[in-house]
Amino acid sequence: MVMLTKAIRNVFWHPLSRFPGPRLYAGSRLPYVFFALTGRLAVQHHKLHKKYSPIVRTAPNELSFIEASAWKTIHAQHAGRHTAFRKNYDSFNETRNQIGHSVFIADDDNHRRMRKVLDHAFSPQALREQEPLIQRHVQELINGLEDERLSTDGIVNLMEWYTWATFDIVADAAFGEPFKCLLEPTYRHWPILLSKTWKVIVYSSGVKNTMPSSLRWMFPAWVLQTEVNKLELVLNRVKKRLARKPNRGDLLSSIIAHNDRKGTVTETEIISNASLFVFAGTETVATLLCAVTYLLTQNPQAMARITNEIRIRFPDEAIITIQELNEMEYLNACLNEALRIFPPLAEGLPRIAPPEGATISGEWIPGDTSVQISHFAANMSTSNFEDPESFVPERWLGINPRYANDRLEASQPFSAGLRSCIGRNLAMAEVRLILARLLWRYDLRCTLQSKWTDQVAYMLWEKGPLPIELTRVR
Specify binding-site residues.
421
Give the number of other CB atoms < 10 A from CB of residue 125.
Answer: 10
Residue 64: Cβ within 10 Å count? 29
The amino acid at 182: L
Reported for 349-353, long-range contacts at CB under 8 A and 24+ positions apart, including other chains, are 349/87, 349/89, 349/415, 350/62, 350/87, 350/88, 350/89, 351/74, 351/75, 351/85, 351/86, 351/87, 351/88, 352/85, 352/86, 352/87, 352/88, 353/85
Q: For residue 429, which of 334, 322, 314, 309 has the smallest C-alpha distance?
A: 322
94 φ, ψ (degrees, to nearest 5)? -85, 0
Annotated binding site for heme: 421
Question: How many angstroms separate the most distant Cα atoms in the chain?
Answer: 74
DSSP three-state, residue 171? helix
Q: Which H or E run contains 461?
A: strand 460-461
Pairing of strands 155-157, 467-472: antiparallel
Q: φ and ψ at 460, to 5 degrees?
A: -100, 155
Beta pairing, strands 358-360 & 62-65: unpaired
The torsion region of residue 43 among left (phi > 0), alpha (psi -120 to 50) and beta comes to alpha
Instruction: Tell me if residue 156 falls in helix, strand or coil.
Output: strand
In whole angstroms, what is the distance from residue 172 CA to residue 248 CA? 10
Strand order in the sheet with 467-472: 155-157, 467-472, 442-446
Q: What's the CA gap between 383 and 69, in Å, rounded?
A: 13
| Distances in whole angstroms, Cα of residue 393 to Cα of each of 138, 181, 266, 428 | 25, 32, 43, 16
